[in-house]
A = this chain, B = another copy of it.
Amino acid sequence: MPDILHRVGIRSQSMQPVYHALTTQAGLAGWWTSNTQGEGDQVGNIIEFRFGAGGFDMKVAALEEPNTVLWELADGPPEWMGTTISFELRQEDQYVILIFKHANWKEPVEFMHHCSTKWAVFLLSLKSLIEEGEGKPDPRDIKIDNWN
């Protein structure tokens, strides 16, 4: 099945701030979408991410602090149904390496192409949040195409 894959390296002496930004309401609101409800620090929790028109509900499916965060889509657009999103962290010298995977798309539809580009933008927003103290959540200034 087609997957969206990304890799970013975040300058940080510890994985903890990155793990925190992936598992807390405040952290997630700081780089993905400011309209985030719920905490991601317990398996089974639902996190609600909202954008202008729609959004996604994610179920926290697995956590291994500070290395692994796995979400399963609980509700969202039909193309995302059945997909999972994982963040794998490891320390490599002064960088935290983040391996991202949005897996199990049924088909490589055009919306998947859009989401792939958009995830890169948001992961670089996460990098900014950790390195510079400020991310670019819900980045209307980084409009990648005619969808958003």
Bound together, the chains give a CA A65 to CA B15 distance in angstroms of: 48
Interface size on A, residues (CB 8 A): 31
Contact of A7 among B5, B6, B7, B114 (CB under 8 A): B114
Q: Are A6 and B113 in contact (CB under 8 A)?
A: yes
Bound together, the chains give a CA A142 to CA B131 distance in angstroms of: 13
Task: Quickly give the copy total for this chain.
Answer: 2
Name A residues whose Cβ lies closer than 8 Å to a Cβ of B.
Answer: 2-9, 92-93, 95, 97, 99-100, 108, 110, 112-114, 116-117, 120-121, 123-124, 127, 142, 144-147
Q: Are A113 and B95 in contact (CB under 8 A)?
A: no
Q: Which residue of B lies closest to A95 (CB)?
A: B146
CB within 8 Å for A8 and B145 given contacts A99-B113, A108-B3, A113-B100: yes
Query: Taking the nearest CB of chain B, how far is it from the CB of A35, in angstroms?
Result: 23
Bound together, the chains give a CA A144 to CA B121 distance in angstroms of: 11
Complex interface: chain B residues within 8 A of A97 (CB): 145-146
Q: Are B116 and A116 in contact (CB under 8 A)?
A: yes
Q: Are A9 and B146 in contact (CB under 8 A)?
A: yes
Complex interface: chain B residues within 8 A of A123 (CB): 117
